[in-house]
A = this chain, B = another copy of it.
Amino acid sequence: MAYKDEQLSEEKVFKDPVHRYVHVRDRVIWDLIATPEFQRLRRIKQLGTTNLTFHGAEHSRFNHSLGVYEIVRRILNNFKGREHWNNEERLLCLSAALLHDLGHGPFSHSFEKVFKLDHEYFTQAIIVGDTKVNEVLQKVGPDFPNRVADVIGKTYEDQLVVSLISSQIDADRMDYLQRDAYYTGVSYGHFDMERILRVMRPIEDQVVIKSTGMHAVEDYIMSRYQMYWQVYFHPVTRSAEVILSKIFGRAKALYQDPDYEFKLEPTHFISFFEENVTLADYVKLDETIVQYYFHLWQEEDDAILSDLCERFMNRRLLKYVEFNPNLQMNDYMELMRLFKQAGIDPEYYLVVDSSSDLPYDFYRPGEEEERLPIHLQMPNGNLKELSRHSDIVESISGKKRTDHKLYFPVDLLKALTDKRVRNAILEILYGQGESSNVD
């Protein structure tokens, strides 16, 4: 029997809190899960620093990847008979679903920003490169790795396949909303996925939703909206992200500084600092490595690096106030001046972070980030864009919301001995000297 058609002698199941069970019958999928590259995802948290705000959010990308696979598996089951995919095409969908986050690094949000990397690029690189994952995929067919990579890069010719894991209502989003809600414990993030799966219809190059399922989709869009603002953009989480970025930035700057010498050579980071990362370097990294360095760097001579690492490891985060950089530039300039005067480097300790979300968008051809809209299939068979049928979705459609915060170390500020500078800073930040700002 061809490798691609091999079935396990007995179906394997993973107990999953979100989907109850994840089912695996295909040898290919089982072998992919067993690769070191996929197992590495166990050491990368799905939500980076969110567990510093919601302590339950300690789940890994391994967890989520299995979930996305399972959702696609169920979708394909429902499509059975409707869509005439052959077995290899089915495996393509399942593999792409399983592997779609394979290239994520530790704390990727900050990591990618500082080192100018892109996890999607690495996902594809792992799939087509010299890896165990590639070895498994090769056994399906010599071109199979490339096809999986194309699905992940959204360039695969059958856009229906792409849309299963990359659209405004895809298996990826459906899994993470539910999963992140489950682990954080928030009451948002629930919607009737079983119903959505039942009303999904493959039509040409997209998946549409039978109009009778519209309300379940509305619920999903609202979940997404609430999760973004309640969980993903939580200002305390972003405080930790700010610190992370500054740690990476500071370490890189010190490495580039000919006068500074690390106590222990930061071996795992060197190619990142030098911006010539190889695939082999990349897949070695995970959160245990990164945090090991944070441990070490607490002992470094550089006061900024050691302070930032200590803050991150012991969750002594930066405080924040609302701050609109567009309107308050003068305040910001004045704060920079005062920080310098106080001997606190504003590059590392006075940081504006802006987060914005577009919960749902209709199609705007030609715009930088085109997003395919969700289409409802009406009883007469016609398609209708979601926001034209749903008042609620219409109300938030295309509306970008942005939140700006200014982060700073209130502990250092309060400890300033120059009372004049101290009060001037706190006056700008809190309006009246000081407040009971807490997280």
CA distance A114 to B392 in the complex (A): 35
Q: For the complex formed by this chain, how many copies does it contain in all? A: 4
Instruction: Specify which chain B residues have a CB less than 8 angstroms from the CB of A272 in the assembled complex.
Output: none
A146 located at the interface, meaning its Cβ lies under 8 Å from any Cβ of chain B in the complex: no
Shortest CB-to-CB span from A183 to chain B, Å, is 7
Task: Establish whether residues A295 and B291, one from each chain, have CB atoms under 8 Å apart when the complex forms.
Answer: no
Interface hub of A56, A59, A395 (most chain B Cβ within 10 A)? A56
Q: Is A284 among interface residues, defined by CB-CB distance under 8 A?
A: yes
Q: Are B284 and A295 in contact (CB under 8 A)?
A: yes
Report yes or no: B288 in contact with A39, Cβ–Cβ below 8 A. no
Also in contact, A315 and B34, with CB within 8 A (given A54-B15, A288-B295, A395-B396): yes
Any chain B CB within 8 A of the CB of A20?
A: yes
Question: Is A6 among interface residues, defined by CB-CB distance under 8 A?
Answer: no
The stretch among A84-92, A94-102, A224-232 that forms the contact with chain B is A224-232
Instruction: Give bound CA distance, A13 to B195, whole Å.
Output: 10
B54, A58: Cβ atoms closer than 8 Å: no
* Docked-complex contact A395 and B401, CB < 8 angstroms: no
Say yes or no for A324: interface residue by CB 8 A criterion. Answer: no
Q: How far is the CB of A155 from chain B (nearest CB, A)?
A: 31
Contact A219 B215 (CB under 8 A): no
Which residues of the other chain, B, contact A21 by a CB distance below 8 angstroms? 194-195, 198
Q: Which residues of B contact A438 (CB under 8 A)?
A: 10, 12
Contact B184 A17 (CB under 8 A): yes
Q: Does A9 contact B (CB under 8 A)?
A: yes
Task: Verify A16–B55 contact, CB threshold 8 A.
Answer: yes
- Residue of B39, B51, B190, B315 near A313 (CB, 8 A) is B39
Within 8 Å of chain B (Cβ to Cβ): is A302?
Answer: no
Q: Which residue of B lies closest to A294 (CB)?
A: B288
Chain B positions within 8 Å of A190 at CB level: 187, 190
**In the bound complex, do residue B66 and residue A55 qualify as a contact, i.e. CB atoms below 8 Å apart?**
yes
Q: Mark A211-229, 1 if CB is under 8 A from B, else 0.
A: 0000110110010011001
Check: A62 CB closer than 8 A to any chain B CB.
yes
- Are B39 and A315 interface neighbours, CB within 8 A? yes
Measured between C-beta atoms, what is the minimum distance from A281 to chain B in Å?
13
Q: B192–A36 contact, CB under 8 A? A: no
Q: Which residue of A63, A226, A229, A288 has the most chain B CB atoms within 10 A of its CB atom?
A: A288
Query: Do B187 and A17 touch (CB < 8 A)?
Result: no
In the bound assembly, the distance between CA atoms of A236 and B110 in angstroms comes to 35
Question: Across the interface, do A51 and B56 meet the contact criterion of CB distance under 8 Å?
Answer: no
Check A56/B55 contact, CB under 8 A, given A17-B185, A219-B226, A314-B39.
no
Q: Is the CB of A63 within 8 A of B59?
A: no
What string of 1s and 0s marks CB contacts (under 8 Å) between A374-396 and chain B?
00000000000000000110111
Considering only residues 36-64 of chain A, those with a C-beta below 8 Å from chain B are 36, 39, 42-43, 51, 54-56, 58-60, 62-63
Besides the contacts A13-B198, A34-B315, what 14 more A-B pairs have beta carbons closer than 8 Å? A9-B436, A15-B56, A16-B56, A16-B185, A21-B194, A34-B314, A55-B62, A55-B66, A56-B59, A284-B295, A288-B288, A292-B292, A391-B395, A391-B401
16 CB < 8 A contacts A-B: A12-B438, A13-B198, A15-B186, A17-B56, A34-B315, A34-B316, A39-B315, A42-B58, A58-B60, A58-B63, A219-B222, A219-B226, A222-B222, A288-B292, A395-B395, A395-B396
Query: Measuring CB to CB, which residues of chain A are less than 8 angstroms from any residue of chain B?
Result: 9-10, 12-18, 20-21, 34-36, 39, 42-43, 51, 54-56, 58-60, 62-63, 66, 182-188, 190-192, 194-195, 198, 215-216, 218-219, 222, 225-226, 229-230, 284, 287-289, 291-292, 295, 313-316, 391-392, 394-396, 399, 401, 436, 438
* A-B pairs with lowest CB-CB distance, top 5: A395-B395, A17-B185, A288-B291, A292-B292, A187-B192
